[in-house]
Each structure stands twice: as structure tokens, then as C-alpha cells.
């Protein structure tokens, strides 16, 4: 059984002074597949596998918990592009069904694959900027790593 520390934390002015992290800059760096802190190191070692740490600044990427959020965001983004386009084409033009399938399905597939890694990088950048899931300098005591 793991026991939690019962010692109260004393908050002072110095404990409230932490590094400012720009959310938009971190998300843009992550969207480009770069480290959210320095913007130089690679964030991914494979298509959707994050690297263990940044080669330039040493930031540990293992605490990120992107999970299914990037996939949901990609579905929303691609759906908001594809569905109105399909509705506009189908109401204004008469296209054969085979042509519709040949055009819409590959575009949806390629757009989803193209956006998946950048969106995951932006989510990891957002988590770092907001100090979520272990990206804080002072993680809580007694919580084992996942």
C-alpha cells in the first residue's frame, strides 16, 4: 500500500513563480512535429509514436496522454470540410454514384491521415503548456508513473 505524504505544502510567493508557457506557440510547435518547449527537437519517432525526450533540450515526452482526442478532433475537422462540400455538390450537380465514391472516400481518407500527426502534436503541446499529466516541474507526491 502506498502512503501519501501528510505534510502540508506551504505556499509562498516563490512557489507561485513558475515559467510562463505560451499555449499558442507550444501548439504551433507541436503541430509542426517539434518539441513544444524549444521548437527544435523532433516530437515523433514514428508516425504517431512520440519520442521519449527532446534531443535538443531534454524535455521528457513520456507523461503525455493524448489518447483519443487527436482522432476525435480530426473527425470534426475533416467532417466540417467534407460534409458541406458533398452536400453542395450533390444538391447543385448530378453526379453518378461511382464518381462520388471515387472522389469523396479517398479525399476523406488522405485528409484524415494527413491531419492525424499534426493534431496529436498540437495536443501534446497544449498539455505541456498547461502543465497537464506530469509536464509540471513539481509533480504531486505519491502518484506512480503510468
Q: Do 34 and 26 form a contact (C-beta atoms < 8 A)? A: no
Residues β-bridged to residue 67: none
**Could you tell me where the DSSP H helices lie in the chain?**
13-16, 23-31, 69-92, 97-129
Domain ranges of the chain: 23-130
What average pLDDT does this structure show over 72-92? Answer: 95
What average pLDDT does this structure show over 68-81? Answer: 96
pLDDT at 2: 55
The pair phi, psi for residue 107, each rounded to 5°, is: -65, -45
pLDDT of 24 strictly over 90: yes
Choice between 13 and 57, residue whose per-residue pLDDT is larger:
57
The C-alpha cell that represents 80 in the structure block: 466540417
Between 7-16, 43-52, 74-83, 114-123, the lowest mean confidence (pLDDT) is in: 7-16
pLDDT of 123 strictly over 80: yes
Which is it for the CA torsion 50, 51, 55, 57, positive or negative? Answer: positive
Read off the pTM: 0.79
What Rg, from alpha-carbon coordinates, does the chain have? 21
Residue 95 pLDDT grade (very low, low, confident, very high; cuts 50, 70, 90): confident
pLDDT at 146: 43
* DSSP letter (8 states) at residue 33: T
The dihedral region occupied by 92, where left means phi > 0, alpha psi between -120 and 50, and beta the remainder, is alpha
CA–CA separation, 47 and 113 (whole Å): 10
The C-alpha cell that represents 99 in the structure block: 464518381
Which is it for the CA torsion 117, 123, 124, 129, positive or negative? Answer: positive
Amino acid at each position: 500500500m502506498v502512503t501519501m505524504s501528510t505534510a502540508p505544502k506551504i505556499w509562498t510567493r516563490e512557489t507561485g513563480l513558475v515559467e510562463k508557457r505560451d499555449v499558442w506557440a507550444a501548439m504551433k510547435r507541436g503541430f509542426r512535429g517539434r518539441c513544444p518547449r524549444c521548437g527544435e527537437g523532433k516530437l515523433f519517432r514514428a508516425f504517431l509514436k512520440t519520442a521519449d525526450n527532446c534531443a535538443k533540450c531534454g524535455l521528457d515526452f513520456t507523461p503525455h496522454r493524448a489518447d483519443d482526442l487527436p482522432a476525435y478532433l480530426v473527425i470534426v475537422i475533416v467532417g466540417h470540410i467534407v460534409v458541406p462540400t458533398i452536400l453542395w455538390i450533390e444538391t447543385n450537380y448530378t453526379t453518378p454514384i461511382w464518381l462520388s465514391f471515387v472522389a469523396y472516400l479517398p479525399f476523406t481518407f488522405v485528409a484524415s491521415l494527413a491531419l492525424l500527426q499534426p493534431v496529436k502534436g498540437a495536443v501534446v503541446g497544449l498539455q505541456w503548456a498547461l502543465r497537464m499529466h506530469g509536464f509540471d516541474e513539481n509533480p504531486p507526491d505519491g502518484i506512480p508513473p503510468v
